[in-house]
A and B are shown apart, each in its own frame.
With several copies, the nearest count.
Chain A
Amino acid sequence: MTLQLRRDRPLLAPYVTGGIRPDWTDYLHEYARNGADAIEIGLPFSDPILDGPTIQEASDAALRRGVTVRGLLDEIAAVDVGVPLIAMTYYNLVVHRGAAEFCRDLAAAGIRGLIVPDLPVDESDPLASAAVAAGIELILLAAPTTPADRLAAIARASRGFVYAVSTMGTTGSTFAASGCRLAADLRQLTDQPVLLAFGIATHLDAVTAARSADGVVIGAALMRRVLDGGTPAELGAVLAGFRKALDEDGPDCVP
């Protein structure tokens, strides 16, 4: 049960904040049904330093509802949506539980990968070992300012795919073409998929990104709709739109 992403189409990985609504796992089903190749689930943390206002708001809302990692994992374990699930959270929640236990808990809930935005490659050894032991993949992030030697190290150490942050900013920032160069550089360094993330809000963004990368992560743009009351079905329809745009391709990446 490793994280093996398909390579036959531009990858589409939508995001949802765990526990944002009581029926939040329905978003997983709808995402899966409407073309997701993997789903990123945010495990809410009180101090999300790489998240912009939208995902901060979503995390706060979920925490106010009283969600816990334990509870979310129980809910996740109870569903099977047919695409790989990836957890995204901050390092304190890992440390608090203990890296080994945390990874085992994820694996037991059926989660295949883990993204920790405040854990750079230099600090990742303990968690990487725990992840290996638990049989989940620790996915690392690269940024537009990452120098070449670090980029190589990240590309080497990341498992499952490489998470390329498109822009110098938080989730929900405006998509920047700098991301296309980063993704292209990364693809020189690894055979694993490279997914571009942060700020992908429109079909044009997604298509642009997918010309340079193997796929995209869409987070804040979806969560904005969820926070505005979008139902699982409505979000499914939104995702279907992205799927279609990606599959049909579109204009070139305008640098």
Chain B
Amino acid sequence: MTEIALPRPAASVMSDPGAVGRFGEYGGRYVPESLIPACAALEEAFRDAWADPRFRRDLDRLLAVHAGRPTALTPAWRLSAELGVNVLLKREDLAHTGSHKINNVLGQALLARRMGKTRLLAETGAGQHGVATATAGALLGLDVTVFMGEVDIERQALNVFRMKMLGAEVIPVTSGTRTLKDSTSEALRQWVTCVDEAHYCLGSVMGPHPYPWMVRELQRVVGDEARQQCAAEISTGTPDYVVACVGGGSNAAGTFAGFVDTPARLVGVEAEGGAAAAFGQVGVLHGFSSYLLQDENGQVSEAHSIAAGLDYPGIGPEHAHLKDSGRARYVTVRDEEVVPAVHRLARTEGILPALESAHAIAWVIRAAESGELPPWSTVLVTLSGRGDKDMATLMAAS
């Protein structure tokens, strides 16, 4: 308890970052001049669409009839009993394609069509965002090209096959570390060559303005739904803690957005090997400024996590601001805590969480067991995805 500062007033946080795309000092639009008009056009199109009730209605309908929203809010009965805190799970693992990534992607694909684009580009690490983009492309009749590091292609052969089944082209990225960071760079490079017909469908709350804001807005459905569901489920109306894992930070941003104006304490959980908020320094990568893992010379460090989706050296700029402002707190979890957390949730609730999501569970377990969470406080955890994709990793780890 003692460590946790009381939440500050929320007026200035999680609002519209304006034309400059700033969250406090973070964010911005650090891309080559060639991409500036495309980013500006995207911002304009998104502002226009987001204010258009018809666009919102179309998206809401897609999310409902195709992606299966609203997703359930599950009281984790047995885990709660074991831990002595009330754990509620927001079940993004039940969304179509198996994670929250679909929320963002359906919104961007619909926007791309509205802008007259015929193609989607996407970067992917574990393949979840790639699969989601391929899905949205198939559904809305857009060609999809996914950039994926050669190393990840090997590790995630099944997701590569899923993307191909969905009609997407998967381009191996052979530069740098041949993982997510490099596939993001490559997607940006390729976007330059086809800005007229292609929309770059970025997978998290990162990249140049308007992406961090747009993706947060597209993911806020997670938090908005959860808030409503909590109001029905919890006597006090809102949870005491709201916890989500943070890779780029989209599931956390979407969740936090629903609770930022409540007294709930917001906790973002990073993988220790990719903990930009915890261990990073201010830097600029992939179009935005934020906390970034880098070496003493300013070269970007490779992230390392058992969860491919957390294997990114940066963090969305709004999270950097939430951290500085004290409105959210960022903690880290080690790989060794994650696998037991998967097992624990599987055995208590019959739910196999994604390794990414298991980071959030692992922190809740640790904080409950150490007494950091007050007895019978209410903890909302966003379960960002399902663990099916991680079975091979877990088999190797066991």
Instruction: Identify the A interface with B (CB < 8 A).
Output: 45-53, 56-57, 60, 63, 68-70, 90-93, 95-97, 117-123, 140-147, 150, 154, 165, 168-170, 173
B192 to chain A, nearest CB (A): 5
- Asked whether, in the complex, the Cβ of A49 is within 8 Å of the Cβ of B32, the reply is yes
Task: Name which residue of chain A comes closest to B31, CB basis.
Answer: A118
B343 at the interface (CB under 8 A from A): no
Contacts of A142 in B (CB 8 A): 33
Of B33, B175, B284, B297, which contacts A141 at CB under 8 A?
B33
- Asked whether, in the complex, the Cβ of A168 is within 8 Å of the Cβ of B34, the reply is yes
Instruction: Identify the B interface with A (CB < 8 A).
Output: 20, 28-34, 36-38, 175-176, 181-182, 185, 188-189, 192-195, 281-287, 289, 292, 294, 297-300
What is the number of contacts between chain A and chain B, taking CB atoms within 8 Å?
115
A120-B182 CB under 8 A given contacts A92-B284, A96-B298: no
A164 to chain B, nearest CB (A): 10
Task: Name which residue of chain B comes closest to A45, CB basis.
Answer: B299
Smallest CB-CB A-B distances: 7 pairs: A96-B298, A143-B34, A46-B299, A143-B33, A91-B284, A46-B300, A68-B297
B363 to chain A, nearest CB (A): 29
B202 to chain A, nearest CB (A): 13
Contacts of B285 in A (CB 8 A): 47, 92
* Sample (20) of A-B pairs whose CB atoms are under 8 Å apart: A45-B298, A47-B285, A47-B300, A49-B32, A50-B192, A60-B176, A92-B294, A95-B282, A96-B281, A96-B283, A118-B32, A120-B36, A123-B29, A142-B33, A143-B34, A143-B36, A145-B195, A146-B37, A147-B37, A150-B37
Counting chain B CB atoms within 10 Å of each CB, the highest count among A56, A141, A150, A173 belongs to A56
Task: Name which residue of chain A comes closest to B191, CB basis.
Answer: A168
Task: Name which residue of chain B comes closest to A52, CB basis.
Answer: B189
A45 to chain B, nearest CB (A): 7
Contacts of B28 in A (CB 8 A): 123
Of B34, B281, B297, which contacts A145 at CB under 8 A?
B34
Contacts of B182 in A (CB 8 A): 47
- Asked whether, in the complex, the Cβ of A118 is within 8 Å of the Cβ of B287, the reply is yes
Bound Cα distance from A120 to B28, whole angstroms: 10
Bound Cα distance from A56 to B37, whole angstroms: 25
Bound Cα distance from A169 to B192, whole angstroms: 5
A103 to chain B, nearest CB (A): 15
Contacts of A51 in B (CB 8 A): 189
A21 to chain B, nearest CB (A): 19
- Asked whether, in the complex, the Cβ of A49 is within 8 Å of the Cβ of B185, the reply is yes
A122-B36 CB under 8 A given contacts A49-B286, A95-B284, A97-B298: yes
Bound Cα distance from A168 to B196, whole angstroms: 10
Contacts of A96 in B (CB 8 A): 281, 283, 294, 297-298
A146-B36 CB under 8 A given contacts A47-B300, A168-B195: yes
Of A49, A95, A147, which contacts B188 at CB under 8 A?
A49
Contacts of A141 in B (CB 8 A): 32-33
Task: Name which residue of chain B comes closest to A163, CB basis.
Answer: B33
Bound Cα distance from A53 to B181, whole angstroms: 16
Task: Name which residue of chain B comes closest to A90, CB basis.
Answer: B284
B292 to chain A, nearest CB (A): 7
Known: A47-B300, A169-B193. 15 other contacts (CB 8 A): A45-B299, A50-B189, A56-B175, A56-B176, A57-B175, A60-B175, A69-B297, A70-B297, A96-B283, A97-B298, A120-B36, A122-B20, A122-B36, A140-B33, A146-B33
- Asked whether, in the complex, the Cβ of B32 is within 8 Å of the Cβ of A50, the reply is yes
A145-B37 CB under 8 A given contacts A96-B298, A118-B284: yes
Contacts of A165 in B (CB 8 A): 32-34
